[in-house]
Amino acid sequence: MNPEAGPGDLLHPINNMLDINGWDLQKTLRLLYKSNPTSFKWFSSPIVYKETEFADKFRNIMDDYFSSKCSLYHYISMAEGSYREYLKREMVRAKKYFYVLRPVLACRWIFDKGTALPRLFSERMEEELPRDLKDEVHRLLDLKMKSP
């Protein structure tokens, strides 16, 4: 159980392979009102287990609540924290570079497009990564995928 979970959170590990995560309606609407990036991420996921009328209506109003300022603050803080925590060490695991790269590319997307992010990192990478870095990042992705 997540020690930071609040009374409105549903966090029940099923086993070592699966987790169920969810929010109650009140928390979901509060996070949307605050333009929390996680609410945008969850509702734009390409993986849909069950479609509901609520989810469909929710997606239709999400853009009305998107705030570039809130999202940029979120992703800049995430990148700074990951940089301090993971990249200032002598040895850095390949996947830790993505803990900084993902939020940096998210910020570039928001600056360039002014919209919430597409769910897939590959879309942001192709759109926002400078051409001369794409080969290096693809090699890093390959190394990450082959690492235990």
In DSSP notation, 27-81 reads HHHHHHHTT-HHHHHHHT-S--S---HHHHHHHHHHHHH--HHHHHHHHHHHHHH
Beta bridge partners of 21: 11
Confidence class for position 1, pLDDT limits 50, 70, 90? very low
**CB of 70 closer than 8 Å to CB of 35:** yes
3-class DSSP assignment, residue 10: strand
What confidence tens digit (pLDDT) does each residue in 76-116 have? Answer: 999 999 999 999 988 888 889 999 999 999 999 999 999 88
Check residue 64 and give its pLDDT: 93
Domain chopping of the chain, boundaries = 9-65, 68-146
3-class DSSP assignment, residue 122: helix
Percentage of the chain exceeding pLDDT 90: 32
What's the whole-model pTM score?
0.75
The mean per-residue pLDDT over the stretch 32-42 comes to: 88
Beta bridge partners of 13: 19
Check residue 13 and give its pLDDT: 54
Check residue 66 and give its pLDDT: 94
Q: Pull the structure tokens for residue 75.
A: 């992703």
- For 133, the enclosing helix (H) or strand (E) is helix 131-146
Check residue 145 and give its pLDDT: 84
